[in-house]
Amino acid sequence: MDSARLQHLLHPFTGAPLRESQLSNISIYADLLLRWNARINLTAVRGEENIVTRHFGESLFAARHLFPSGPPPGTRYLDLGSGAGFPGLPIKLARPQLHLTLIESNHKKATFLREVIRALGMMDATVFAGRGKDFAPSTAALVTLRAVERFDQALPLAASLVAPDGRVALLIGSAQLDSVPDLAPGLIWQKPIPIPLSESRILLIGDRSREPRT
């Protein structure tokens, strides 16, 4: 896909033009995803433009709201249950200062993630090919969660991996919203942010409180 088309498709999510280098990396990533998806099930979304808007657009929208001015260099970031790399890898493309770890227990998907990191020449991006509960205690400033199985188990785990002053960001359907406070009572949740071009998808950001809510 050419840069002009990518820029057009992603503008509702980014709000500002992407750099040519970012567009090139997104194109490389999307091509890899399409090729690998023919062999292993990385995404159920079909069609290149749908992949760009649903996966890349949603992830870049999260980056825009999580780090409007850019994160401090070396900020630790975990993407739990990363799957095909969303939102972790596009957030890293948008904010290269982040130190990213993708947590993915499926070894074929983990291999794909490593291939994307290699193809894009990403620095400070690694893959943990294991379960989140086996990941070492973390001081991550941010943990993200999107389209994971067993949401009722994944969200408490994500909350346990974030630093005392960190945040958890969820890309979820609005139907899941009511269950969030009970699953992660130690987080103070901001107002949901509707995702562009979607009737039900939201970005939800929770800040770690030092005292659990009662």
**Strand 187-189 to 201-208 pairing:** antiparallel
Please report, rounded to a whole number, the percentage of residues in the chain having pLDDT higher than 90.
86
Cα 212 off chain centre by: 26
Residue type, 186: G
What kind of fold does domain 3-208 have according to CATH? Rossmann fold (3.40.50)
Task: Give the separation between CA 87 and CA 172, rounded to whole angstroms.
Answer: 12
From residue 29, alpha-carbon distances to 70, 113, 197 in Å are: 22, 10, 22
Task: Give the separation between CA 17 and CA 168, rounded to whole angstroms.
Answer: 27
Per-residue tokens: 154? 């994944």
**What's the pTM?**
0.94
Work out the end-to-end distance of the chain between its first and last CA atoms, rounded to an integer number of angstroms: 51
pLDDT value for 136: 80
Confidence of residue 176 (pLDDT cuts 50, 70, 90): very high
pLDDT value for 149: 82
Model confidence over 52-89: pLDDT tens digits? 999 999 999 999 999 999 998 889 999 999 999 999 99
Q: Check residue 65 and give left, alpha or beta (phi > 0: left; psi -120 to 50: alpha).
A: alpha
Task: Give the separation between CA 160 and CA 122, rounded to whole angstroms.
Answer: 27
Task: Give the separation between CA 160 and CA 154, rounded to whole angstroms.
Answer: 10
Per-residue tokens: 156? 């408490």
Per-residue tokens: 158? 């994500």
pLDDT value for 210: 54
3-class secondary-structure state, position 94: helix
Task: Give the separation between CA 161 and CA 208, rounded to whole angstroms.
Answer: 11
Model confidence over 8-61: pLDDT tens digits? 999 999 999 999 999 999 999 999 999 999 999 898 888 899 999 999 999 999
Task: Give the separation between CA 7 and CA 182, rounded to whole angstroms.
Answer: 39
